[in-house]
Amino acid sequence: MIRKTAVQMAESLAQGETTSVELTQAHLDRIADVDGKVKAFLHVDAEGALAQAKQVDEKRKSGEKLSPLAGIPLALKDVLTQKGIPTTSGSKILEGWRPPYDSTVVSKLKDAGVVIMGKTNMDEFAMGSSTENSGYGPTFNPWDLARTPGGSSGGSAAAVSSFEAPLAIGSDTGGSIRQPAALTGIVGVRPTYGAVSRFGLIAYSSSLDQAGPFGRTVLDTALLHEVMAGHDPKDATSINAPVPAVVAAAKSGDVKGMKIGVIKQLQGEGYQKGVQTRFDESLKELAALGAEIVEVDCPSFEYALAAYYLIAPSECSSNLARFDAMRYGLRTGDVNGASAEAVMSATRDAGFGREVKRRIILGTYALSSGYYDAYYGSAQKIRTLIIQDYAKAFSQADVLVSPTAPTTAFKIGEKVDDPMAMYLADVATIPVNLAGICGMSLPAGLADEDNLPVGFQIMAPAMQDQRLYQAGSALEAALLSKWGAPILDKAPALGGSK
Ligand code: GLN
């Protein structure tokens, strides 16, 4: 049962072949069986999940009309608040904090009857590309437990790829949904900025953060996308427009006549051979389906990483000021009449990890009065140039494509002491965030040299998210017949208990 797609599970529920309680229990059993190895979850709310499942079963029995994902279990990145459930954002500074309210995403999931099984591991405050920056230890890639699942939403991606959950939610500030989706062989979407409410999403970099769906198929991901998205008056940057018809697009999956632009700057040198090979093959598949492949030039992308690593730390240095030892979670050093300042300083020192401190310092420096124009100001100008590059490219193509990440899953410990190497893992995903547009990663096969999943990235203009699903489902179907089975079927079994 756990190896089915969410759509198949929903059918089984509708047919009365199974119940949500059974389905949820099967996934909780799987978690108990393998999560000792994978470590996708920080907190499992078995009791709450079964209670939610029971409620859905009762509603179904009474003939109530239910949403398409009602009764389907899900794993939630620990960056989103859920009332009464421990929420840490992967940080020791929030250990023990139980939010008094639901994020809008969680409210929407609950309204749709989606069963939230627990909170997943992540890089602390979503800063990282491997989940090794979590204050609670790393998550392991189900394909090879010596490797990272990517990050920062590594727990959510690992939960879906290890069949602990059919669906999950992540957040993507610079690639944190698409990159781990690529490294674990699943589908992940970063919706258009403003399409999904940020209310209750613990802030990292507010102008870049956006929550989005993970699934094992394009259609599963589309169904979750429609549940999460929509205008929210509680978020000042929320877009007040109808949600793009992503489910219909995923069902149609037609690329005949579609113009697909390959971004010259996001391939070739620096990309692993097997990644580039699978990417090139996917392009051929799309061309065979009737798409027109063109090359587009985005010269400013060369500076995207540098601009991102000024803007994101600047915003984080401001956002993380709220962790002041008074309002949430941890408080240390409160002895012998210590001053508020001393307590704040001791708490932030004990509660924040190395990468978070590095970014707060970097951001504070970039925003300081003497350097503001030179650093933050320049980075914002680059951001404008990137937006202009995209605008020009989208005048030549309906969607743009690239490999999602330059390499397949790397080893635990390989990059964690080398921030620059780690930052490069997002070189192909970051431009989307700077421009506020949308992007998808879907599995494009396995690299020949290491048999690990390769991600294919599709990008579309703001509020044209349906184009991702249209092109994505066409490619998915073509690759399915080429590979003969879903790519996840080729993952080594995780074996028995714990
Ligand atoms: N790896 C990038 C960073 O560390 C992106 C993280 C994200 O998207 N949350 O900032």
147: DSSP letter: B
For residue 51, is it within any domain? yes
| 176 CA closest ligand 1 atom index | 8
Q: Which residue out of 89, 162, 176, 314 is catalytically annotated? A: 176
Active-site residue, 20 included: no
What is the 3-class SS of 64-113, one letter each residue? CCCCCCCCCEEEEECCECCCCCCCCCCCHHHCCCCCCCCCHHHHHHHHCC
For residue 457, is it within any domain? yes
Q: Which of 334-348, 427-441, 484-498 has the lowest mean pLDDT?
A: 484-498
277 vs 447: CA distance, rounded Å: 8
For residue 486, is it within any domain? yes
98 vs 96: CA distance, rounded Å: 6
Q: What is the span of the domain harbouring residue 431?
A: 6-301+383-490
Give the pLDDT of residue 268: 86
Which of 426, 432, 438 maximizes ligand 1 atoms within 8 Å of its Cβ, making it the mutation to test the pocket?
426
| 129 CA closest ligand 1 atom index | 1
How many CA atoms within 13 Å lie on the side-chain side of 97? 27
In percent, the amount of the chain with pLDDT more than 70 equals 99
Which of 123, 206, 441 maximizes ligand 1 atoms within 8 Å of its Cβ, making it the mutation to test the pocket?
123
Q: Which residue out of 20, 39, 67, 77 is catalytically annotated? A: 77
Residue 42: its H or E element: strand 41-44
In percent, the amount of the chain with pLDDT more than 90 equals 95
Active-site residue, 498 included: no
Q: How many domains does the chain have?
A: 1
For residue 321, is it within any domain? no
| 128 CA closest ligand 1 atom index | 4
Give the pLDDT of residue 495: 73
DSSP E strand stretches across 211-300: 211-215, 259-263, 292-296
State the distance from the centre of ligand 1 to the C-alpha of 180, rounded, in angstroms: 11
Average pLDDT over residues 398-406: 98
State the distance from the centre of ligand 1 to the C-alpha of 410, rounded, in angstroms: 16
Place of tokens 């006549």: 257
Evaluate if residue 440 carries a pLDDT over 60: yes
73 vs 71: CA distance, rounded Å: 6
| 426 CA closest ligand 1 atom index | 1
State the distance from the centre of ligand 1 to the C-alpha of 456, rounded, in angstroms: 18
| 308 CA closest ligand 1 atom index | 10
Evaluate if residue 435 carries a pLDDT over 70: yes
State the distance from the centre of ligand 1 to the C-alpha of 362, rounded, in angstroms: 15
Evaluate if residue 347 carries a pLDDT over 90: yes
Tens-digit pLDDT profile for residues 207-246: 999 999 999 999 999 999 999 999 999 999 999 999 999 9
State the distance from the centre of ligand 1 to the C-alpha of 125, rounded, in angstroms: 9
426 vs 429: CA distance, rounded Å: 5
Evaluate if residue 498 carries a pLDDT over 60: no
Q: How far is CA 417 from CA 132, 139, 350, 421, 441, in A?
A: 10, 17, 20, 9, 27
Mean pLDDT of the chain: 97
Which of 120, 148, 172, 173 maximizes ligand 1 atoms within 8 Å of its Cβ, making it the mutation to test the pocket?
173
For residue 387, is it within any domain? yes
Q: Which of 27-41, 82-96, 272-286, 327-341 has the lowest mean pLDDT?
A: 327-341
What tokens does 389 get?
């590059």
Residues having CB within 6 Å of any atom of ligand 1: 126-129, 152, 172-176, 204, 312, 426
User: What are the phi and psi torsion angles at 475 (to 5°)?
Assistant: -65, -40
| 312 CA closest ligand 1 atom index | 10
Evaluate if residue 496 carries a pLDDT over 70: no
Tens-digit pLDDT profile for residues 76-118: 999 999 999 999 999 999 999 999 999 999 999 999 999 999 9
State the distance from the centre of ligand 1 to the C-alpha of 233, rounded, in angstroms: 26
Which of 80, 129, 133, 171 maximizes ligand 1 atoms within 8 Å of its Cβ, making it the mutation to test the pocket?
129
State the distance from the centre of ligand 1 to the C-alpha of 422, rounded, in angstroms: 10
Active-site residue, 39 included: no
Spatial neighbors of 247 by CB under 8 A, at least 6 apart, are 219, 222, 223, 225, 226, 469
For residue 91, is it within any domain? yes
For residue 362, is it within any domain? no
CB 161 within 8 A of CB 154: no
For residue 411, is it within any domain? yes
State the distance from the centre of ligand 1 to the C-alpha of 153, rounded, in angstroms: 9
Give the pLDDT of residue 329: 87
The CATH number covering residue 195 comes to: 3.90.1300.10
Evaluate if residue 261 carries a pLDDT over 80: yes
Evaluate if residue 497 carries a pLDDT over 80: no
Residue 399: its H or E element: strand 399-403
Whole-prediction pTM: 0.98
Place of tokens 């074996």: 495
Q: How far is CA 284 from CA 46, 147, 257, 274, 323, in A?
A: 45, 30, 14, 16, 50
Q: Which residue out of 67, 130, 152, 161 is catalytically annotated? A: 152
CB 223 within 8 A of CB 481: no
Picking from 150, 143, 26, 158, the residue whose alpha carbon sits closest to that of residue 493 is 143
